Amino acid sequence: MWGETGLTADAIIEKTDGQMQRIVLIRPFKPGDKEIIFRPENSEDAFALSTSELCCLHMVPKDKTFSRVQHVPEEIVTVTERAYHVKPIPTEKYPAGFYALSLDATTPFNVIFFMNQGVVTRSQKRRLGEILEGEGYISHTTIDNTLNEQKKIRNRKLGEIISEQANVPQETIENIIEKAYVAGKVTPRMRIGDILINADIISPTQLEEALASQERGKKIRLGSLLIRQGLITEEQLLMVLALKFHLPYVDLNDVIPTPEALAAIPADIVHALHVLPLEDKGKQIIVATSEPTDYTIPDSLYFHTKRRVEMVVATSRSISAAIQKYYPKGEYPEEIICGMDEEAQALEIEDDMESLSEWNDLIITLVDDLLLDAHSKGASDIHFEPGAAGKPLQIRYRIDGVCRVVRQVPKAYKKAVIIRLKIMANLDVSERRHTQNGRFIIPQKGRPIEYRLETVPTVEANEDAVVRIISTAAPRPLKKIDFTAAYLEKMEHLLSQPYGLILCVGPSGSGRTTTLHAALNYLNTSERKIWTVEDPVQIRQAGLRQVQVHPQSGFTDHEALCSCLMSDPDVIMIGEMKDAETVKTAIEASLTDHLVLGTLHANSGAEAVVRLIDLGVDPAKLADGLLGILAQRLVRRLCGACKKPYKPSSDDIDQLARLYGPRWKGDQTNLETDQDAQLMKKVGCNLCDNTGYKGRIAVHELFMNNNKLKRMIRQKASVDELANLASADGMKTLLMDGIQKIINGETDVDELLKVCRYDHVVIG
């Protein structure tokens, strides 16, 4: 009907950049559309615009009619800070947003579709009292009475407050003031408080207190007053505020914040704003507050996180408790360790928890410090070794695969340190005869760190503890996995296949998970549904559905894999294929339109094939499903700050040639012919603790399945047969790959030979 009245545009769009534009929709808008197709008013050119760039779309009610349901008016504020007064239509909610009718009678564009990502706040225009009444928490009369009370408190005169607080009758105060006026002692700038101080009725401190109390009275809100009067509880008030502001109410007892969320907001901000981050969804972060009416909170959080902040409501008490739990205040550990020796002599520690509590803080700080220190030094494990009677507790870090003693803690604290670790991991403190394992997280400004604790009973009723530090790191890009150019290209080729099985093999600690996550990162686009089954989840990626298995409670790898398969995935990653059942299901899945990635304990691709067949996998299915197997090792990298070039002797070159094998002449002509060829050697400096090495580099061997290999797999060929054929087809072995990295100056022969056997080079 609006069309006939000379109106050309049939919609107005508000974009997330703040622009408003009058347009003609070429295709009618539907709430699920990924884009709108339109032409600007007064133009014939058609455009497409992603709906993710829209705050809202105002339309003339043409093809859509809504029943005029009586609903609560709301104020809706978009990301560009425009406020709309509308009546949302409760029945017209979609995953992308919701319809509302404009309350502005002057516009024909009175049907508005708000995109969820374009809306900052929604709040009911009903007053708090009305909602409380509507929800049946209190009666109308109670609200009226309380509003009167609020008014009284807000308008309280200073004299009244002083009379009450300083216990001086109101009459006396009035008399004194009157007398002062009469005696002409009152200057124009003098305040009532000053008169009372001059008259020695109150002290300046009492005046300050009275003024502060008056100030507080002015700010007192209806909700707080109702709580103070015992008419409603804080929970009830928050539930109503949550309703008013369209914010979810959460019980923090039921919600565990994710490590990413805890890391996203620094402790001082959390303490200052009294909020608790709950979930980090990448572009937005969910944060709990007990002050949903305070608009400065989401703004400050946005300032710190540069992400959209979604507020949820929780009680002040539960937020305080959670902050204490997840953001404990730190101390100064070095001093504590130094001071410990003397104290240790004075204390004879018994096993009972009572004496433990006396110096609890000391132990807590010591252990926290060790855990954080180990992480900051890049350790993968911390070993707590009590040793024999009378000996101190020895603490060793494993860094870059090598153990080193870092500290000794006085013997008197041995048991307490282990007890503290067990408490952190929720283990049974009294159980000392069996191994136990558990996990805990320490929130950190940068990123929360997950620790896995394993305790082992040792002699003299002691316990050893090993803490594994789980790097909950962000995924690395595939390009940063140290692949040679040729192997990177091959990996990308494997990953671009629509279905099949790709394995990553190597011993524990060879970086298999990191590599698989890099592969997933390469695959992680919005078109692909990716599930992972892991224990533990070490690397988190937005966009992935990551399942943590709990074998102790019966949620096994196999069960998790089966439930993932039911959720229509394109890609599945299985952290570690340990049992025959999981392996068989994974191979079936790889044959039926899924790309399956996994790790396996095996030394090489050829060995992995034989292991899988030994586990009971059908060789024919394996031959068909398998795309490739990447074997990986980590070797220490020469410290970039101190490594030194040197000219290799002919003996050095001979050794490399011998290790590299028959293809040396074809692959490495440069090193032999170039007179200026250089290799790098270790030196040692402050940065690398004088070891000459810093960090590690991965070496690879990529077993690419092909028709010839398929035939041999079906015939159950031996490890050597498979390895030889793959080599003949151009596979570079771990040793060859490693030697390439030595020639590139990244590591040395000593390091490489620690992780690679070179017997099968002889075969090749």
Residue 401 CB, nearest distance to Zn ion (Å)? 17
Residue 641 CB, nearest distance to Zn ion (Å)? 4
Does 642 contact Zn ion by CB under 5 A? yes
Residue 687 CB, nearest distance to Zn ion (Å)? 5
Closest-approach residue to Zn ion (CB): 639
As given in the structure block, the two tokens for residue 372 are 């954080």
Does 685 contact Zn ion by CB under 5 A? yes
Residue 684 CB, nearest distance to Zn ion (Å)? 6
Task: Tally helices (H) and strands (E) across the chain.
Answer: 30, 28
What values do phi and psi take at 492, rounded to 5? -65, -35
Residue whose CB is less far from Zn ion, 557 or 746: 746
Strand partners, 598: 503, 574
Residue whose CB is less far from Zn ion, 20 or 687: 687
Residue whose CB is less far from Zn ion, 542 or 687: 687
Residue whose CB is less far from Zn ion, 20 or 641: 641
Does 644 contact Zn ion by CB under 5 A? no
| Residue 34: burial class (beta carbons within 10 Å; 0-12, 13-18, 19+) | exposed
Does 639 contact Zn ion by CB under 5 A? yes
Residue 382 CB, nearest distance to Zn ion (Å)? 23
Residue whose CB is less far from Zn ion, 186 or 685: 685
Subset of 607-626 contacting Zn ion (CB under 5 A): none
- For residues 613 and 716, the answer to whether their CB atoms sit within 8 Å is yes
Among 688, 704, 717, 734, binds Zn ion (CB under 5 A): 688
Subset of 8-37 contacting Zn ion (CB under 5 A): none
- For residues 539 and 473, the answer to whether their CB atoms sit within 8 Å is yes
Residue whose CB is less far from Zn ion, 579 or 750: 750
Residue whose CB is less far from Zn ion, 40 or 684: 684
Spatial separation of the C-alpha atoms in residues 136 and 230, rounded to whole Å: 16
Find the part of the chain contacting Zn ion (CB under 5 A) among 52-60, 82-90, 384-392, 639-647: 639-647
CA angle 18, 19, 22 (to 5 degrees): 140
CA angle 23, 24, 28 (to 5 degrees): 120
Residue 397 CB, nearest distance to Zn ion (Å)? 18
Closest CA to 469 of 328, 578, 370: 370
Residue whose CB is less far from Zn ion, 561 or 639: 639
Cα distance between the two ends of the chain: 83
Does 641 contact Zn ion by CB under 5 A? yes
Spatial separation of the C-alpha atoms in residues 637 and 118, rounded to whole Å: 48
Count of residues engaged in binding Zn ion, rule: CB under 5 A: 6
Strand partners, 15: 54
Residue 639 CB, nearest distance to Zn ion (Å)? 3
Residue whose CB is less far from Zn ion, 132 or 688: 688
Task: State the DSSP code for 573.
Answer: E
Residue 407 CB, nearest distance to Zn ion (Å)? 23
Find the part of the chain contacting Zn ion (CB under 5 A) among 102-110, 178-186, 475-483, 634-642: 634-642
Does 7 contact Zn ion by CB under 5 A? no
Spatial separation of the C-alpha atoms in residues 319 and 275, rounded to whole Å: 7
Residue whose CB is less far from Zn ion, 641 or 728: 641
Task: State the DSSP code for 475.
Answer: P
Q: Is the peptide bond before 188 cis (omega within 30 degrees of 0)?
A: no
- For residues 645 and 745, the answer to whether their CB atoms sit within 8 Å is yes
How would you list the strands of the sheet with 595-600, edge to edge?
Answer: 545-548, 530-534, 571-574, 595-600, 500-505, 626-638, 693-704
CA angle 579, 530, 449 (to 5 degrees): 75
Q: To which H or E segment does residue 758 belong? A: none
Find the part of the chain contacting Zn ion (CB under 5 A) among 17-25, 310-318, 663-671, 678-686: 678-686
Residue 259 CB, nearest distance to Zn ion (Å)? 32
Does 640 contact Zn ion by CB under 5 A? no
User: Strands 626-638, 500-505: parallel, antiparallel or unpaired by DSSP?
Assistant: parallel
Secondary structure E strands in 433-508: 436-442, 449-458, 462-470, 500-505
Residue 569 CB, nearest distance to Zn ion (Å)? 45
DSSP 310-369: EEEE--HHHHHHHHHHHSPPP--HHHHHHHHHHHHHH----SSHHHHHHTHHHHHHHHHH
Residue whose CB is less far from Zn ion, 642 or 719: 642
Spatial separation of the C-alpha atoms in residues 159 and 207, rounded to whole Å: 10
- For residues 291 and 300, the answer to whether their CB atoms sit within 8 Å is no
Residue whose CB is less far from Zn ion, 470 or 638: 638
Residue whose CB is less far from Zn ion, 400 or 557: 400
Residue whose CB is less far from Zn ion, 633 or 682: 682
Find the part of the chain contacting Zn ion (CB under 5 A) among 277-285, 298-306, 516-524, 681-689: 681-689
User: Strands 545-548, 530-534: parallel, antiparallel or unpaired by DSSP?
Assistant: parallel
Does 638 contact Zn ion by CB under 5 A? no
Residue 310 CB, nearest distance to Zn ion (Å)? 46
Find the part of the chain contacting Zn ion (CB under 5 A) among 50-58, 113-121, 448-456, 677-685: 677-685
Residue 682 CB, nearest distance to Zn ion (Å)? 8
Find the part of the chain contacting Zn ion (CB under 5 A) among 50-58, 169-177, 687-695, 706-714: 687-695
Counting every residue written for the chain, the total comes to: 764
Residue 688 CB, nearest distance to Zn ion (Å)? 3
Find the part of the chain contacting Zn ion (CB under 5 A) among 172-180, 195-203, 638-646, 658-666: 638-646
Does 112 contact Zn ion by CB under 5 A? no
Spatial separation of the C-alpha atoms in residues 493 and 486, rounded to whole Å: 11
Residues forming contacts to Zn ion in the complex (CB under 5 A) are 639, 641-642, 685, 687-688
